[in-house]
Amino acid sequence: MIRVAMAYVPSRAAAEEAVQETWIAVVRGIDSFEGRSSLKTWAFRILINVAMRSGARERRSMPFSALAQSEDTGEPSVDPDRFLPADHDLFPGHWAVAPTRWPTPEEGLLAGETREVITTAIAGLPKAQRTVISLRDVEGWSSAEVCEALEISAGNQRILLHRARSRVRSAIEDYHGAVEEIDYDAVTAQIFGDTAVEEKSKP
């Protein structure tokens, strides 16, 4: 809960306060809880409202669905420079610099230094994306539970999740700097025979 609240308030102390306020609201409101959603998603809906309100004290707070819309900017998931141009003769829109395997320790992606890279990347995400990736991938909620708690559509939820995961993936890649330029001459040679490339490399 604190992780989710942190997206909306400036400090851990404020997040703890929001969580506390939420639990009190849950206990107070339990009689009015109608069981139309799970207790868990209901409690998180309260938490997000509380956190948004306290994070936006001066400004008017917007509903989560509006926040979600505002974060769907249609930015590319991977830097466009990583791909060949759309009008490339043989491989339009294919990787120019493909992703390469991360050096993953046996104990998993989060065992080594990458943990810090990932937590920093998540903390730097826009609020709605951060909320969705926290609930889905960190807390392990289903997409239906996330949609219910945040009152957003399944499509909206997927967009936020995709943007969030894409950004975190890029951050890991930037950290490892392990990307490999594809030798398209070699690929072409493999497909069409060596002649084309041999011709070119003749002195």
Partner 1 sequence: MTDQPTEPPADDLACTEEVEIITDYLEGALPESDARRLERHIETCPGCTEYLDQMRTLAGSLGDLREEELAPELRAGLIDAFRDFHRS
Residues of this chain that bind partner 1 (CB under 8 A): 2-3, 16, 19-20, 23-24, 27-28, 76-78, 80, 83, 86, 92-95, 98-102, 104, 108-110, 115, 118-119, 122, 133, 136-140, 143, 154-155, 158, 161-162, 165-166, 168-169, 172-173, 182
Question: How would you label 166-194 residue by residue, b for 16+ Cβ within 10 Å and e otherwise?
Answer: ebbbbbbbebbeeeeeeeeeeebbeeeee
Asked if 95 and 123 touch (Cβ cutoff 8 Å), the reply is no
Look up residue 10 and give its DSSP letter.
S
| Shortest Å distance, C-beta 203 to partner 1 | 32
Nearer to partner 1, 63 or 187 (CB): 187
| Shortest Å distance, C-beta 27 to partner 1 | 6
| Shortest Å distance, C-beta 157 to partner 1 | 9
Nearer to partner 1, 61 or 143 (CB): 143
First to last CA, the chain: 66
| Shortest Å distance, C-beta 59 to partner 1 | 27
Q: Which residues pair with 99 in a beta bridge?
A: 179
DSSP string, 127-157: HHHHHHHIIIIIS---HHHHHHHHT--HHHH
Nearer to partner 1, 62 or 123 (CB): 123
| Shortest Å distance, C-beta 140 to partner 1 | 5
Nearer to partner 1, 26 or 63 (CB): 26
Pairing of strands 179-181, 97-99: antiparallel
